[in-house]
Amino acid sequence: MEKKWEEMSSDERQEAQLQKWLSPKDPEGNDLKFQSPQAEKAFKERATRLKDAIQLKKLPDRVPVFTIYGFFPALYAGFTPQEVMYDYGKANMAWKKYVLDFAPDGHIGPWVPGPGKLFDILDYKLYKWPGHGVSPQYGYQCNEGEYMKADEYDAFIDDPSNFYNNVYLPRIFGALEHFTAPHIADVLEMYGAGLNFIPFGLPPVQAAYKALLEAGNEALKYIGVAGAYNNELAAAGFPTFWDGPAKPPFDMIGDTLRGTKGIMTDMYRQPDKLLQALEAMAPLVVKNGVAGAKVGGVPIVAVVMHKGADGFLSDEQYKTFYWPTFRKVLVGLINEGIVPFCFVEGGYNTRLKVIRDVPKGKVIWWLDRTDMAKAKEILGDVACIGGNVPPDLLAVGTPQQVKDYAKKLIDTCGKGGGFILGNGTVIEQAKPENLHAMIDFTKEYGVYK
Amino acid sequence: MAGKLAKLLSDLKEPEALAFVEKALGEGVDPMDLLGEAKEAMNIVGQRFASEEYFIPDLVFSGEILKGIVKMLEPHLKKGEEAERLGKVVIGTVAGDIHDIGKNLVVFMLDVNGFEVLDLGIDVPVQKFVDAIKETGTKVVGLSGFLTLAFESMKETMEAIKSAGLRDKVKVMIGGGQITEEIRKYTGADAYGKDAMAGVSLAKQWLGAK
C-alpha cells in the first residue's frame, strides 16, 4: 500500500511530487494525451534529465539546458510587450513559439506577460507597464516605494493578512482605495452581526468591490487562454520547470513593502521589529509557494532573490537578517516535497558557504554573476547549480563566443551531474542565434559518457 | 584625526551624532565646521565602502544620518557658503529603464565627494541627455541601467551624443547590474564602473580632481 503523505519523509515527498510532474494530467484528471509517442518520450527524457540533475542520485544522460526570460519571446515573435500584455492570444502564441523553436529541456510557463487589462481596471500602482509609465516596447517594472510605513511593523506582525487586505491593497490598487475586507470573527453570533456589513453599503466601498468583480471577469478571460499553455506544451514534449513563485522574506519586505531604503534604514533604527516581521513573513511565503505548486501541478517553485547579493549586505547583515528566515522558507518548501528553484540575481560569492546549509538534493541554485568554479566546489555535493551564461554575451556576442563560454561551464560544473546550463538572468534582448548556440551546443557537448 | 562628529557619523551612530550637533549648535560652534566634519565623515564612509568594510545598507544609512544633520545645520548657514565644487556630472537611467537604486548611490557618492550632479532621473529619453550636455557644458556623463534592454538604450544614447557633435567634449561612464566591459565596447562608452566608488574615481580622473 502507498504510504500516507503525513508519514513520508521529505525525500519521499519530493520523489512523489516529481513523479506526479513526470506524469501530467489533463484538466479532467486523466493522463495527458501527448501529441505523439515521440513527444511523450521527449517529455519523459527532459523531465527525468532535470530531475536527475536536482536529486544528485543518478547521473543524467546529459547536462540539461534551461532558459529564463522576460519579454524576449514577444520581441522574438515580432510583438511589443504591450501587445502581448493585452492580447492573450498573441502572448500564448509567442510564448509557445519560443519553446518550440529553441527546444530547451523545460520552460517557465506562460505567466510573464500577465493580463494588462486587469491592471488597468484595478489601477495598479506598484508597477509601471507598457502604456502606463513605460513605452509599449518595454516590459513592466516595479515602482519602489514605502508601501508599508516605518511605524507599521506592529500592525503587520500582529496580523499580516489583515495588513495586506486592509492597508496594502488599498495602497497598491487605486481602484481599491476604499476596499475593506469583512471581519469574519465579528459575525459569529446573530446579535450585533448586522453592524459589520455597514461598510459594504457605502458607495466608495461598493465601487472597490465592483472593480474586483470586473478584475475577476478579466482574470477568467485571461486564464481561459493562458491556462491551457502548460498542458499544450507538455503534450508537445516540454515540461514546465518553474512555478510558484516565492521570495525570501527579506526581499518580500524590502522589495514591495518597505522599499530598499526603508528596509536598510530599519536594519539600524528598528532591527528587532524587522526581525519579527521577517519571522511573520516566512510561513506566508511557504503557504503561497505550496499553493502555487499545487494549482499548477509543478513542484518546482521559483524563489526570486534580490537584496542578499554580494555587496548588498555584509556577511553579518546577511546572516542576521537574510538567511535565517530564507532558510525557513527553503526548508518549509522542501518539507512539502517542493524543489525551490532559487534565482540568485547578481553575485553570490560571499554567501556560498552559508547557503551550503540545506538538505542534499533538494534545491536548485540558479546563479547569475557568481564564480561557477567556486560554486561547484562549495555547493556541488549538496545542491544542483545552474545558469551563469551572461545576458551581455547573448545580446552582443557571437555564437562562437557563446559556445566557448558554454564549453567552459560544462567542463567546470558538469562533472558528476548536478548542473543545468542556462542564462544567468532574465533576458529581454538577445540574438536568437546566440540562444540557439547555447542550447544546441549543450545538447551536443553536454552528453555524459 | 577625525573630530567627534566625523567619528559618530562615519560609525553610523545616528542618535549620538544628531544629539552632538544639537549640543554643538547650542554652544555656538560654527556650523561650517560641523558641515566640514560631516563631509570628512562621508569620505571615511566612502573609503570603508570601497574596502568592503561597509555595504549598501551602511551607505544608505549614512546618507539618512547626513540628511538629518544638514537639516539641523541649514537654518544656521549663511547663503553663499557652499563650498566650491570639483566639476559637473550629468547622470540618468537610460530610456525604458526605471531602476534607480544604483544610480542614486552613484549620485550620492559623487555629491558627497564634492561634485555638482545633475540627475536627470529615470527612463531618460536620448534627447534629454543631449540637451543637458549642451546646457550644462558638462565634461562627464553617467548612464545607468539595470535591465538588458538598457544595452540598446545606452548605445542609442551614445550615438545621439555623437551625432550632436558632442562626443569629443564628454567622457561617458556606464554602470548597472548587467553592465560589463563587453557592453562598454558595444555602446562605445569610455568606461564602466562596477560600483558607486568606481564612478567617483572615474569622475575624479576625468575632471583632473584629486
H-only helix segments in A356-424: 372-379, 391-396, 399-413
What are the grid coordinates assigned to B137, written together?
A: 557644458
**Could you give the percent of chain A with pLDDT greater than 70?**
99
**Could you give the percent of chain A with pLDDT greater than 90?**
93
DSSP string, A103-121: --SBB--S-SS--HHHHHH
Give the number of residues written for chain A: 449
In this structure, the number of other CB atoms found within 10 A of the CB of residue A419 comes to: 25
Q: What is the C-alpha to C-alpha distance for residues A313 and A321, in angstroms, rounded to an integer?
A: 9
Q: What is the C-alpha to C-alpha distance for residues A252 and A247, in angstroms, rounded to an integer?
A: 6
Using CA coordinates, name the residue in chain A closest to B122.
A134
The minimum CA-CA distance between B125 and chain A, rounded to whole Å, is 11
H-only helix segments in A56-191: 72-76, 81-86, 88-102, 116-122, 153-158, 160-163, 169-172
> B148 and A264 in contact by Cβ < 8 A?
no
Q: Contact A290/A338 with Cβ under 8 angstroms? A: yes
> A144 and chain B: CB distance < 8 Å anywhere?
yes
What are the grid coordinates assigned to B21, written together?
A: 550637533
- B-chain CB neighbours of A397 within 8 Å are 182
How many inter-chain contacts (A to B, CB under 8 Å) are there? 94
Any bridge partners for residue A427, and if so which? A69
The CATH fold assigned to B88-207 is Rossmann fold (3.40.50)
- Interval A101-130 mean pLDDT: 97
Q: Is the pLDDT at A145 greater than 50, yes or no?
A: yes
Using CA coordinates, name the residue in chain A closest to B61.
A265
Sign for the CA dihedral angle at A149, A155, A161, A163 comes to negative
Residue B83's pLDDT band, with cuts at 50, 70 and 90, is: low
What are the grid coordinates assigned to B38, written together?
A: 560631516
Q: What is the C-alpha to C-alpha distance for residues A335 and A8, in angstroms, rounded to an integer?
A: 10
How much is the pLDDT for A368?
96
Domain ranges within chain B, ordered by starting residue: 4-76, 88-207
0.90 surpassed by pTM: yes
- Interval A85-109 mean pLDDT: 98
The CATH fold assigned to B4-76 is 1.10.1240
CA-closest candidate to residue B62, choices B38, B88, B79: B38
What ipTM goes with this model?
0.90
Give the number of residues written for chain B: 210
Q: What is the C-alpha to C-alpha distance for residues A329 and A252, in angstroms, rounded to an integer?
A: 12
What are the grid coordinates assigned to B164, written together?
A: 550632436
Strand A127-130 with A141-142, pairing: antiparallel
Among A312, A425, A429, beta carbon nearest to B56: A312
- The C-alpha angle with vertex A389 and arms to A313 and A44, in degrees rounded to 5, equals 110
> A314 and B58 in contact by Cβ < 8 A?
yes
**Could you give the percent of chain B with pLDDT greater than 70?**
96
Q: Is the pLDDT at A225 greater than 60, yes or no?
A: yes
Residue B210's pLDDT band, with cuts at 50, 70 and 90, is: low
Round the CA-based radius of gyration of chain A to a whole number and report it.
23
Give tens-digit pLDDT for B88-127: 999 999 999 999 989 999 999 999 888 999 999 999 999 9
Residue A1's pLDDT band, with cuts at 50, 70 and 90, is: low
Q: What is the C-alpha to C-alpha distance for residues A44 and B198, in angstroms, rounded to an integer?
A: 49
**A7 CB-contact burial (10 Å; exposed 0-12 / middle 13-18 / buried 19+):** exposed
Tell how far CA B151 is from the center of its chain: 22
> A312 and B55 in contact by Cβ < 8 A?
yes
> A320 and chain B: CB distance < 8 Å anywhere?
no
> B64 and A139 in contact by Cβ < 8 A?
no
The minimum CA-CA distance between A73 and chain B, rounded to whole Å, is 14
Q: What is the C-alpha to C-alpha distance for residues B136 and A234, in angstroms, rounded to an integer?
A: 58
Among A260, A396, A430, beta carbon nearest to B183: A396
Q: Is the pLDDT at A196 greater than 90, yes or no?
A: no
Residue B80's pLDDT band, with cuts at 50, 70 and 90, is: low
Sign for the CA dihedral angle at B34, B39, B43, B48 comes to positive
Using CA coordinates, name the residue in chain B closest to A139.
B96
Q: Among residues 110-129 of chain A, which lie with CB inside 8 Å of chain B?
A: 128
What are the grid coordinates assigned to B204, written together?
A: 575624479
Q: What is the C-alpha to C-alpha distance for residues A346 and A306, in angstroms, rounded to an integer?
A: 8
> A393 and chain B: CB distance < 8 Å anywhere?
yes
> B58 and A390 in contact by Cβ < 8 A?
no
Q: Is the pLDDT at B79 greater than 70, yes or no?
A: no
Angle between helices A10-22 and A37-55 (to 10 degrees): 160
- Interval A322-349 mean pLDDT: 97
> A314 and B99 in contact by Cβ < 8 A?
no
How much is the pLDDT for B81?
59
Place of cell 547569475: A368
Q: Give the mutation candidate from A261, A318, A427, A435 for the B interface (greatest B CB count, under 10 A).
A: A261
> B12 and A143 in contact by Cβ < 8 A?
no
The minimum CA-CA distance between B58 and chain A, rounded to whole Å, is 8
Using CA coordinates, name the residue in chain A closest to B176.
A346
Give tens-digit pLDDT for B9-64: 999 999 999 999 999 999 999 999 999 999 899 999 999 998 999 999 999 999 99
Q: Which residues of B touch A (CB under 8 A)?
A: 12, 14, 54-58, 60-61, 64, 95-101, 123, 147-149, 151-152, 177-180, 182-183, 185-186, 195
> A429 and B149 in contact by Cβ < 8 A?
yes
> A396 and B151 in contact by Cβ < 8 A?
yes
Give tens-digit pLDDT for A185-194: 666 788 888 8
Q: What is the C-alpha to C-alpha distance for residues A249 and A329, in angstroms, rounded to an integer?
A: 8
Give tens-digit pLDDT for A68-80: 999 999 999 999 9
The rounded mean pLDDT for chain A is: 96
- Interval A221-237 mean pLDDT: 96
Q: CA separation (Å) from A174 to A149, A181, A212?
A: 18, 16, 12
**B29 CB-contact burial (10 Å; exposed 0-12 / middle 13-18 / buried 19+):** middle
The minimum CA-CA distance between B180 and chain A, rounded to whole Å, is 7
How much is the pLDDT for A183?
77
Q: What is the C-alpha to C-alpha distance for residues A132 and A139, in angstroms, rounded to an integer?
A: 11
Q: Is the pLDDT at B1 greater than 50, yes or no?
A: no
